[in-house]
Amino acid sequence: MKRAIASLAAAVALTFAASAVHADIGKIVIATEGAYPPFNYVDANGELQGFDVDIAKALCEKMQAECEIVAQDWDGIIPGLLAKKYDAIVASMSITEERKQKVDFTNKYYNTPAKFVAKKGSGIEISKEGLKGKTIGVQVSTIHENFARDTFGDVAEIKAYDTQENANLDLVSGRVDVLLADSVALDEGFLKTDMGKDYEFVGPDFNDPEYFGEGAGIAVRKGEDELREAFNAALEAILADGTYKKINDKYFAYDVYGAKEGM
């Protein structure tokens, strides 16, 4: 009897998920930054590309929704959502308690740690003593800026940049001593490029949920429950049918999703 009840519950859950994926939500305008490779960037033809963009398109296909993806500077991306310039944000935005005060989030669609990068052979140790008198580069209005300021701001100078690319450029020019950012963005978007060939990761992974949240999620306006649940159902669908893995493998040689919820 218990097995029969469990089977019925599973069937009901699948039916609900399917109906949520195909909810009649019309056109969706989605914002991404366009300056955070390989997650989101603008190609030589002026088109938005990257992991975030491909995930957004796959979710829209599952929802059978017409979607438009637009670029928005990072420091204005939540205000733009609240002003109804677009309906959702798919831009590697970490799910944090601070942001939950302003917007609602879907389940995570990936979760990777933060790390520091410095010049090879620098000998810099990631500690208060090791970073004393150093300059740390971060992107403005990010979890990485918050963590750097709270943890090392009393011993190091924190320089915040409008884009991660500009932070990378100032590391190469010698204006900052280390960078702190998402490990995958630094690896794929900097260390594996010609510009980053003389640099390396230093120190441990950082993933304290107090600062780094629960992974990257899709942000929607508070109360937009139908849209949020449609995104969640579509995410479950692309995880189940191999679409997510195909997109993951296009950009990365490792899994960026991380552990399943509840595991």
pLDDT at 10 over 60: no
Q: Domain map of the chain by residue range? A: 2-111+214-251, 114-211
Q: Which CATH number describes the domain made up of 2-111+214-251?
A: 3.40.190.10
Of the pLDDT bands very low, low, confident and very high (cuts 50, 70, 90), residue 23 is low
Selected residue with higher pLDDT from 2 and 52: 52
In tens, the pLDDT along 85-109 reads 999 999 999 999 999 999 999 999 9
pLDDT at 257: 97
Give the Cα separation of 182 and 76 in Å (integer). 20
pLDDT attached to residue 144? 98
Chain segment 51-97, per-residue pLDDT in tens: 999 999 999 999 999 999 999 999 999 999 999 999 999 999 999 99
| 2-111+214-251 and 114-211: identical CATH topology | yes
- pTM for this entry: 0.87
* CATH fold of 114-211: D-Maltodextrin-Binding Protein; domain 2 (3.40.190)
Which of these, 139, 174, 159, 137, lies nearest to 37 by C-alpha position?
Answer: 139
Query: Could you read off the pLDDT of 120-153 as tens digits, one per residue?
Result: 999 999 999 999 999 999 999 999 999 999 999 9
* Separation CA 169–CA 193 (nearest Å): 12
